[in-house]
Each structure stands twice: as structure tokens, then as C-alpha cells.
């Protein structure tokens, strides 16, 4: 009881936002930077550690899995522990994991480090969302979420360029030594300046729900990720997706019945939250199309170095980083609808432009198109998420954040798997048809190489074509976004109404 009172008292004091924001942004930047540094470094790590691609991909897939499984628990953690405890724990774990990865002697040790890092990042990212929603009034939330987007956008985009430069000139271990001091600095800053935000309610952990959630989201995330490499017909992919879907159905059923749900599914009664969540998933899928297909095109087809392909993504990242706070301020004035409509219109046109690339498309054209695409994206992610979360009562903001982040993670994994499989299936189908028809002899290596290259470009443009239509769906939905403010708590009202007949039946004193 004393903890709750102390916590409420902390809420009544003036919260010093600056140091809290700084600690959270640096922590989030480091966590996200660490995620994208790995993608470019994997081939070199495979060579040094003597492992194959399907083993090496666990260093990124495993990180994403642990992250995705932890996000649904974030609503419980925020109500059970103080902001300071959670932030310090997350950053200490992340720092320890980074050190283990840096000094790791073999794949197993580095994998352990990645899992420890992922636990830290899985606590930190939802915590940042929830704290920002709590310390800023509704009329300033756009600006706040725009600041947050700087870390969430800039880090993943700087990652490949930095990683390409390090891997070309130094050992891949240097990547972890770059991340480690930043992580330690964020930890110390947070320990000094982090204040507790919100009220503790000491909820009970729904252990059965946690098992279903882990199996459900874990199964789906792994199934979608593996489908990108092994194809949708793989036994592992099918069994993971079936297990994930069944566990998720049981999880939803369990949470709708539970008194203290791990993840509150009844928040989908709020129409604007539901609409913006659907748009968010679709936009994330489209974003991953560009992030995964362009490096394949640049490095495999055009022969650019990892650093050159990373540099192509950099101007767009910088522009998005600059635009995010500006977009946030515009959102506070006019709401999300027109930002989303304009942003999605730009994203649709630029995605379609990528569906027309050839083996002679200039580097300048690619940079300009990608930068324009990122400009469009800068108007989307945070305004759409914030518009949905603004409709939820304060009590449900942690559940809304957890739900939004979980589904975005699943959407990202689905997007990766979908667009990679669209590309690979189209490529192999063209090669197979050419060989079967006798147009190219399998023994003619030069002709087969040229055919494979042309087929891969067709596969990439085909995937971008589908991504264009996916973006069009989001564009149509964006016209229905409305400006919202926190609504009445439907869930508490429903529970009170359900309890009322029982009270009426109880005998009078």
C-alpha cells in the first residue's frame, strides 16, 4: 500500500521531463541501432564463426522472437514495477548482453548475449511509449511521439551504413564495442534522473495467458521469419504457424474471460484504435518491403558494397529524423487524417516507382525515390499510432501500447516473409520456365547467370507491385481517421453493469 501512495505522490510532483526523455531516447536509439547493425555483419560473422546462414539467422530471428514475446507482458510489468526499476533493469540487461556478444568466443555464447540483449530491449521499447503517453498531455502528444520517432527511425537507418563501414575496415566485434558505452551512459543517466510515472496496482500475473502468448506470438513470428528463407511449404513453417495460430486463439479466449488479462483485447471496442492498428500493420509490412528488397537488389544484382547500399538509405533516414518532430507538431494542430493521407499517397507513388527498377536504374534515381518514400513514411507511423492511443482512457494506455507494438512486430515479420517469398517464388518460376522450354541450357553458366539476374529483378519488381497495392489499402483506410480524445472506459462500465444484477439480488441488511 505504501508503494502505491508513494507512487501517487510522485505523480503529483512536477515531473522533470528533459532527463527522462533523454535517458529513454538514448536507450531506445542504442537498442534499435544494435538490431540493424547485425544484418550487414552476418556474412562476416558466418565466415569467422564457421556457421551456415540458417544458423546465423538465429542471431537476428532469436532477438526478434524474444522481443516479440516480451512486448505483451509490458502492460503487466508497468503496473507491477516502478518506471525507474524497469528502465534500470532493461538497460543493465542490454549492457550485459552487449558485452557477452563483444567477447563471445563462439556462436552459442553470442546467441546467449543476443537473448539477454533482447530481454532488455523488449522491456525498454514499450516502457518508452507508455512513459511518453503519461507525462505529456493529449494536446502535446504528437510532438512527444515525434521526438520518440527520431530514435525509432534514425537508428535503424544509420545502422546499415555504420555496420558496412565497420565490417569493411575492422572486426564485427567493434560493432558491439560501439554500442556498449552508449548503453552504459543511458543506464547511468536513467539511474540518476528517471522518475516514477503512473500508479502501481500490483496485478497478478496470468501465467496460463503468458504460456499461450509465448507459444502464439513466438510461433507466428518464427513461422513468418522462416517462410522468408525456407518457403511457405516447409514443414517447420507450417507447424510453427499452426501451433502459433492455435495458441493465439486460446490466448484471446483466455484473455477475454480473465479478470486481470495480460493483454486487454476488449480495447478493440474503441473504433479509432482498431482502425489505426490495422493501418499501422499494413504500413509496417510495406516499409519492410523496401528495407529488405532494396539491399538484395543493390548488393546481389548491382554489386554495390554493404556500405554503398547503406549510404543509399542514409539521406532518407536523416530526412525522416528531421521530419518526425515537425510531423508531431503538425499532428497536435490538425490531427492524423491528412498527414496519413498525404504520407500514404507519397509512399504509394514511390513504392510503385520501385516496381519499375531495371539493371540500369541509376544510383541517384534510387536515392531520390527512397528519400521521397521516407519523407512519406515520416508522416505516418507516429501520427497513426498516437491517434489510436489518444482514444483510450489513461488506464488502458499501457494495454494499447503493448497491443500496438505486438501487432506491429508481427506485421513486420509477416511483411518480410511475404515479400521475400513473393520475390523468390517469382524468380524460381521464371528460371524454371526458361530451362523447361529449352530457351536456356543449364550447362551454359553465363546464360544461366544472366537469366537468374533478370529473373531476380522481375521477382523484386513483382514484390514491389504487391507492396504498392498493400499501401493503397492503407491509403483508403486513412480517409476514415478522425481526431479523438480519451473516451469513457467501456470496459470498466461493462464490468460494473455485469456486477449490478448480482448486487440487486443480494439480501438487504
- What CATH number is given to the structural domain containing 75? 1.20.1250.20
> Which residue carries 480519451 as its cell?
486
For residue 150, being part of any structural domain is answered with yes
Say whether both 180 and 249 belong to one domain. no
What is the secondary structure of 446-470 as a DSSP string? HHHHHHHHHHHHHHHHHHHHHHHHH
Q: Burial-class residue 400 by CB neighbours within 10 Å (0-12, 13-18, 19+).
A: buried
- 92: cell is 543493465
Do 363 and 384 lie in one domain? The reply is: yes
**257 occurs within a structural domain:** yes
Same domain, 378 and 433: yes
Angle between helix 107-135 and helix 397-436 axes, rounded to 10 deg? 130
167 with 66, same domain: the answer is yes
Range of the domain at 371: 267-487
Question: What is this structure's pTM?
Answer: 0.77
One domain, residues 257 and 357: no
Residue 428 covered by a domain: yes
Q: Is residue 381 part of a domain?
A: yes
- Domain tally, the chain: 3
481 — alpha (psi -120 to 50), left (phi > 0) or beta?
beta
Alpha carbon dihedral 437, 443, 446, 447, in 10-degree steps, equals -10
How far apart, in whole angstroms, are the C-alpha atoms of residue 377 and residue 284?
10
Q: What is the pLDDT of residues 437-490, one digit of tens each?
A: 777 776 767 777 788 888 888 888 998 999 999 999 999 999 998 877 766 665
Position 10 scores a pLDDT of: 40
**Residues in the chain where the model's pLDDT stays below 50:** 1-13, 506-509
Final residue belonging to a domain, choices 179, 197, 215? 197
The DSSP letter of residue 297 is I
Same domain, residue pair 185 and 239: no
Q: Report yes or no on 492 lying in a domain.
A: no
**Pair 399, 71: CB distance under 8 Å:** no
Q: Are residues 124 and 162 in the same domain?
A: yes
> pLDDT tens digit string along 204-251?
777 888 888 888 888 887 887 777 667 778 888 899 899 999 998 998
**Domain contains 508:** no
What would the grid cell of residue 328 be? Answer: 508531431
Q: Same domain for 155 and 228?
A: no
Same domain? 162 vs 222: no
My answer on whether 145 and 118 are in the same domain is yes
Taking the C-alpha atoms of residue 385 and residue 408, their distance in angstroms, rounded to an integer, is 10
Q: Which segments of 194-263 does DSSP mark as H helices, in order?
A: 207-230, 235-257
Q: Are residues 135 and 224 in the same domain?
A: no
Structural domain includes residue 7: no
Same domain, 338 and 460: yes
pLDDT computed for residue 416 by the predictor: 77
d(CA 159, CA 36): 5
CA 4 to chain centre: 32
- Asked if 345 contacts 380 with a C-beta cutoff of 8 angstroms, the reply is no
Taking all residues of the chain, what is their mean pLDDT, rounded to a whole number?
80
State pLDDT tens for residues 90-109.
999 999 999 999 988 888 89
Collapsing DSSP states into helix, strand and coil, what is residue 192?
helix
Cβ-contact 115, 66 below 8 angstroms: yes
Whether 137 is covered by a domain: the verdict is yes
Amino acid at each position: 500500500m505504501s508503494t502505491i501512495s508513494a507512487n501517487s505522490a510522485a505523480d503529483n510532483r512536477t515531473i522533470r521531463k528533459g532527463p527522462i526523455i533523454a535517458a529513454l531516447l538514448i536507450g531506445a536509439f542504442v537498442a534499435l541501432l544494435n538490431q540493424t547493425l547485425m544484418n550487414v555483419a552476418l556474412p562476416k560473422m558466418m565466415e569467422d564463426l564457421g556457421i551456415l546462414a540458417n544458423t546465423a539467422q538465429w542471431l537476428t530471428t532469436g532477438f526478434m522472437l524474444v522481443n516479440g514475446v516480451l512486448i505483451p507482458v509490458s502492460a503487466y510489468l508497468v503496473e507491477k514495477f516502478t518506471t525507474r526499476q524497469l528502465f534500470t533493469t532493461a538497460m543493465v540487461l542490454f549492457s550485459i548482453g552487449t558485452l557477452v556478444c563483444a567477447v563471445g568466443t563462439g556462436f552459442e555464447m553470442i546467441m546467449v548475449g543476443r537473448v539477454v540483449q533482447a530481454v532488455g530491449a523488449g522491456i525498454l521499447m514499450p516502457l518508452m511509449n507508455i512513459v511518453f503517453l503519461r507525462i505529456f498531455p493529449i494536446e502535446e502528444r504528437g510532438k512527444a511521439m515525434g521526438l520518440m520517432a527520431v530514435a525509432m527511425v534514425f537508428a535503424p537507418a544509420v545502422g546499415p551504413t555504420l555496420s558496412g563501414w565497420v565490417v569493411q575496415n575492422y572486426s564485427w566485434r567493434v560493432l558491439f564495442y560501439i554500442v556498449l558505452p552508449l548503453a552504459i551512459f543511458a543506464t547511468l543517466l536513467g539511474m540518476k534522473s528517471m522518475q516514477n510515472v503512473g500508479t502501481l496496482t500490483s496485478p497478478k500475473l496470468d501465467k496460463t495467458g503468458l504460456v499461450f502468448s509465448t507459444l502464439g506470438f513466438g510461433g507466428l513470428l518464427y513461422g513468418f521469419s522462416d517462410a522468408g528463407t525456407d518457403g511457405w511449404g516447409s514443414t517447420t513453417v507450417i507447424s510453427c504457424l499452426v501451433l502459433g495460430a492455435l495458441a493465439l486463439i486460446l490466448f484471446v479466449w483466455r484473455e477475454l474471460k480473465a479478470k486481470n488479462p495480460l493483454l486487454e483485447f476488449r480495447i478493440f471496442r474503441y473504433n479509432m484504435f482498431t482502425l489505426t492498428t490495422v493501418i499501422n500493420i499494413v504500413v509496417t509490412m510495406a516499409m519492410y518491403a523496401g528495407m529488405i528488397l532494396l539491399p538484395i537488389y543493390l548488393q546481389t544484382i548491382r554489386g554495390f558494397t554493404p556500405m554503398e547500399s547503406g549510404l543509399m538509405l542514409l539521406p532518407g533516414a536523416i530526412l525522416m529524423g528531421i521530419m518526425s518532430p515537425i510531423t508531431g507538431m503538425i499532428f497536435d494542430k490538425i490531427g492524423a487524417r491528412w498527414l496519413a493521407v498525404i504520407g500514404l499517397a507519397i509512399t504509394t507513388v514511390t513504392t510503385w516507382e520501385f516496381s519499375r527498377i531495371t539493371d540500369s536504374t541509376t544510383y541517384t534515381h534510387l536515392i531520390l525515390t527512397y528519400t521521397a518514400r521516407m519523407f512519406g513514411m515520416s508522416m505516418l507511423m507516429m501520427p497513426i499510432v498516437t491517434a489510436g492511443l489518444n482514444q483510450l482512457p489513461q488506464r488502458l494506455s499501457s494495454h494499447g501500447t503493448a497491443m500496438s507494438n505486438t501487432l506491429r512486430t508481427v506485421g513486420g515479420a509477416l511483411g518480410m516473409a511475404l515479400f521475400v517469398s513473393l520475390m523468390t517464388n517469382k524468380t524460381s518460376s521464371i528460371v524454371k520456365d526458361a530451362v523447361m522450354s529449352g530457351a536456356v541450357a543449364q550447362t551454359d553458366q553465363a546464360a544461366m547467370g544472366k537469366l537468374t539476374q533478370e529473373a531476380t529483378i522481375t521477382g523484386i519488381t513483382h514484390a514491389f507491385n504487391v507492396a504498392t497495392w498493400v499501401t493503397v489499402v492503407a491509403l483508403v483506410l486513412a480517409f476514415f481517421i478522425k481526431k479523438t480524445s480519451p473516451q469513457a472506459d467501456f470496459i470498466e462500465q461493462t464490468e460494473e453493469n455485469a456486477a449490478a444484477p448480482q448486487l440487486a439480488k443480494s439480501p438487504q441488511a
